[in-house]
Amino acid sequence: MDPLSDLLSLLKPRSVVSGGLAIGRNKAIQWPRHEGIKCYAVVSGQCWLSVDGVGDPVLLTAGDCYLLPPGPPFCLATDLSAAPVDFELLRAAGGWIKAISGNEGTACYIVGGHFLLTGSSAEMLMGSLPPIVHIRKESDKATMRWSLERMNQEVRDPQPGGSLIAQQLAFTMLVQALRLHLSDVAGSGVGWLFALADKQLNAALTCMHDDPGHPWTLHSLAARIGMSRSSFALRFKQKVGTTPMEYLTRWRMLLACDKLKNSGDSIPRIAMSLGYESESAFGKAFKRVIGCSPRQHSRQTAETIDLPQV
């Protein structure tokens, strides 16, 4: 897989909500602080998106998509002067409409999903995203159109298996939105995500992701992608914000966390699979990156109860 697919697979996104929401005329709905990542697109009408502490409201029109990483409360409004209704109260009262068809009072209709991300690797993705990702270029909206139309159809005309299809379509929208955001801001940001838009750095990241247990060095990675060692080191640090070897170590430790939780492999076996000749060397690297020993991490993971979140 490519690096973005690798990371998303490691994050194991779990759909909390997927479907549609109708917002009436002259209405505003306020959501509380949220975890995970929200990805929605406007099917019809328009509304304003306001995030607490983040500049001016953003106008969303038909075809626009927005991503919200974990963050502060936000509001969707068809009228900026309307008093916001608390989403939790609206839902408790049965006023949260997942699917609606032909309602003349609807001023804006959106579809999408809310995903919870698991594992320490969530920071690698979330740390590269701004508070609001707004997909609005006509070419980008054309790219999103197929999945948006299919999701709208599944939500408005439920069929057997429709809930699962809607979840998968919402995830497709999320991946597409991330790719489009990456393409739009490729030259303007610092972080792992932005490096994917650089052909040579993407190739270096792919090498590390495809074979994390290989004894990579700065020299061997630079040679693999056709750059000098010094030029590669400088560009990688400028784009990613860390050195190639620091990135490799972090990626190995994130894989180790996943293996400790899900594989049942012994610590020595995990260490060897990730390129460490001794459990001691692996343990030191793990503690430096994760903050605890592999055994402590295993115990903490076993003791953690995964409570459902909505």
Residue 97 pLDDT greater than 60, yes or no = no
The pLDDT confidence band at residue 309, using thresholds 50, 70 and 90, is: very low
Q: What is the per-residue pLDDT across 110-140, written as a single tens digit (0 to 9) for each?
A: 999 998 876 556 666 676 788 899 999 999 9
Instruction: Indicate whether 102 pLDDT > 70.
Output: no
Question: Amino acid letter at 252?
Answer: R
What are 261-281's pLDDT values in tens digits? 888 889 999 999 999 999 999
- What's the pLDDT at 120? 59
Distance CA 33, CA 74 (A): 7
Give the pLDDT band of residue 302 (cuts 50, 70, 90). low
For residue 74, the number of C-alpha atoms closer than 13 Å in the C-beta half-sphere is 24
- Mean pLDDT is lowest, of 63-72, 79-88, 150-159, 282-291, for 150-159
- Decide if 239 contacts 231 (C-beta within 8 A): no
Question: What was the pLDDT predicted at 41?
Answer: 94
The pLDDT of residue 32:
92
Q: What pLDDT score was predicted for residue 13? A: 73
The residue-averaged pLDDT of 8-34 equals 84
Q: Which residue ranges form the domains of the chain, and what is each CATH number? A: 3-184 (2.60.120.280), 193-303 (1.10.10.60)
Band of the pLDDT at 206, cuts 50, 70, 90? Answer: very high
For the ranges 12-21, 147-156, 199-208, the lowest mean pLDDT is seen at 12-21
Tokens 């592999």: give the residue. Answer: 294
Distance of CA 19 to the CA centre of its chain: 18
Give the per-residue pLDDT at 2: 80
Let me know: does 27 contact 79? Beta carbons within 8 Å.
yes
Q: What percent of the chain has pLDDT over 70?
A: 87
Report the range out of 7-16, 189-198, 228-237 with the highest average pLDDT.
228-237
Q: Are 197 and 182 within 8 A, CB to CB?
A: yes
Query: Once rounded to an integer, what is the mean pLDDT over residues 68-94?
Result: 87
Task: Yes or no: say if 215 and 275 are a contact pair by the CB < 8 Å rule.
Answer: yes
